[in-house]
């Protein structure tokens, strides 16, 4: 290659906003997500395309997992480069909360960005008669996979309402899609799902049987405190839901580890925000992602590579 051609190639790379990590070296990026019927998985798929198109020689894959808790443990073990997790799970991981699935503090976790809120969505079959949290007593409820972020949310919500699993008639520890199938077959009264609004599993359920979206009063959010906040599930999010329903939400975070190079962390952060429209087209739940909020409430240290990007665009932690 002539000097002129080398200069032209370098200019093209700069124009794309990408700096090669290592010329000719293949870069592996394993994106840790969640179940295929949740929101994490399509968001991971969108990131996969963005990174494949934007990082030279990248080999990118999307791994379906049990979501937050598993993702964080895999990152600590060096079995993934980036993953999505709920804010309370990230906090528990950094602290080392055995009950939450973290016997020891996970000290290798580093932050990339705040993402979008997970809404705690409790949906019951209409025939179950469940309309309030109190009505869950004696009923069969699925609370998500064991020690998943959703299950941690379920424990917290019930505790804030003065209840435990012992108050329920039956507890199932099932992923979203399996919970919905049991409800369709009248083997389950309700499901608690922590996900973005319009999650595929609950859309499927609402088109299959009459449902009730159960309110979680504002005082539950006040009792729980950060990282929980009061939110609303807008009317018509699901078939048959004709009114706004109060609930609580928790912010999701994009997390990496200190084993990931500064250059790769920088590129993953920059490319995501350079192609935010593409990411948001993957699922309506991501509509609220905003670079100005990227560092708000980050439960772990920000990766130096991501920090370099935020320094360039003038975003600071509040």
The CA distance from 22 to 56, in Å, is 9
For every residue of 240-278, DSSP letters joined together read T--S-EEEEEEEEEEEEETTS-HHHHHHHHHHHHHTHHH
At 245-290, the pLDDT tens digits run 999 999 999 999 999 999 999 999 999 999 999 999 999 889 999 9
Above 80 in pLDDT, residue 9?
no
Name the band, by pLDDT with cuts 50, 70 and 90, for residue 38. confident
- pLDDT at position 145 is 85
Domain 25-116+251-313 classification at class level? alpha beta
DSSP strand pairing (245-257 vs 82-86): antiparallel
Structure tokens at 26: 């293949």
Topology given in CATH for the domain delimited by 118-249: D-Maltodextrin-Binding Protein; domain 2 (3.40.190)
Above 60 in pLDDT, residue 8?
no
Q: CA-CA distances (angstroms) from residue 90 to 8, 67, 76, 234, 254?
A: 43, 12, 12, 27, 10
At 108-144, the pLDDT tens digits run 999 999 999 999 999 999 999 999 999 999 999 999 9
The CA distance from 269 to 276, in Å, is 11
At 144-201, the pLDDT tens digits run 988 788 999 999 999 999 999 999 999 999 999 999 999 999 999 999 999 989 999 9
Name the band, by pLDDT with cuts 50, 70 and 90, for residue 37. confident
- pLDDT at position 249 is 95
- pLDDT at position 21 is 47
Main-chain dihedrals φ then ψ at residue 216, nearest 5 degrees: -115, 105
Q: Fold identical between 25-116+251-313 and 118-249?
A: yes
Residue 1 DSSP class: -
For every residue of 199-211, DSSP letters joined together read -HHHHHHHHHS-E
Name the band, by pLDDT with cuts 50, 70 and 90, for residue 226. confident
HEC string of 9-43 equals HHHHHHHHCCCCCCCCCCEEEEEECCCCCCCHHHH
Q: Which residue has the higher pLDDT, 22 or 248?
A: 248
- pLDDT at position 146 is 82
Q: Which residue has the higher pLDDT, 227 or 173?
A: 173
Residue (of 206, 174, 199, 200) closest to 187 by Cα position: 174
Name the band, by pLDDT with cuts 50, 70 and 90, for residue 24. low
At 59-94, the pLDDT tens digits run 999 999 999 999 999 999 999 999 999 999 999 999
Which pTM value belongs to this model?
A: 0.81
- pLDDT at position 317 is 86
Burial class (CB in 10 A: 0-12, 13-18, 19+), 208: middle
Above 70 in pLDDT, residue 4?
no
Every domain of the chain and the residues it spans: 25-116+251-313, 118-249
């Amino acid at each position: 290659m002539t000097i002129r051609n080398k200069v032209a190639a370098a200019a093209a790379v700069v124009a794309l906003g990408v700096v090669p990590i290592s010329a000719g070296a293949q870069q592996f990026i394993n994106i840790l997500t969640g179940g295929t019927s949740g929101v994490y998985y399509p968001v991971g798929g969108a990131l996969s395309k963005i990174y494949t198109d934007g990082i030279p020689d990248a080999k990118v894959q999307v791994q379906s997992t049990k979501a937050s808790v598993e993702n964080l443990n895999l990152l600590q073990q060096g079995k993934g480069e980036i993953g999505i997790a709920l804010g309370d799970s990230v906090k528990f991981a950094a602290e080392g909360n055995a009950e939450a699935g973290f016997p020891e503090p996970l000290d290798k976790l580093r932050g990339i960005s705040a993402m979008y809120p997970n809404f705690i969505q409790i949906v019951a079959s209409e025939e179950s008669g469940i309309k309030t949290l109190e009505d869950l007593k004696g009923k069969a409820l699925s609370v998500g996979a064991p020690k998943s972020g959703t299950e941690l949310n379920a424990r917290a919500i019930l505790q804030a309402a003065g209840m435990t699993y012992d108050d329920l008639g039956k507890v199932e520890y099932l992923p979203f899609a399996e919970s919905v199938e049991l409800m369709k077959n009248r083997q389950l009264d309700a499901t608690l799902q922590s996900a973005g609004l319009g999650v595929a599993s609950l859309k499927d359920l609402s088109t299959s049987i009459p449902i009730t979206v159960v309110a979680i009063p504002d005082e539950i959010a006040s009792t729980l405190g950060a990282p929980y906040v009061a939110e609303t599930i807008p009317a018509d999010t699901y078939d048959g839901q004709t009114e706004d329903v109060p609930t609580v939400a928790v912010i999701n975070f994009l997390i990496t580890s200190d084993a990931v190079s500064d250059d790769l962390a920088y590129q993953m952060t920059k490319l995501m925000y350079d192609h935010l429209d593409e990411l948001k087209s993957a699922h309506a739940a991501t509509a609220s992602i905003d670079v100005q909020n990227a560092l708000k409430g980050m439960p772990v240290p920000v990766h130096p590579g991501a920090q370099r990007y935020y320094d360039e665009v003038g975003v600071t932690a509040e």
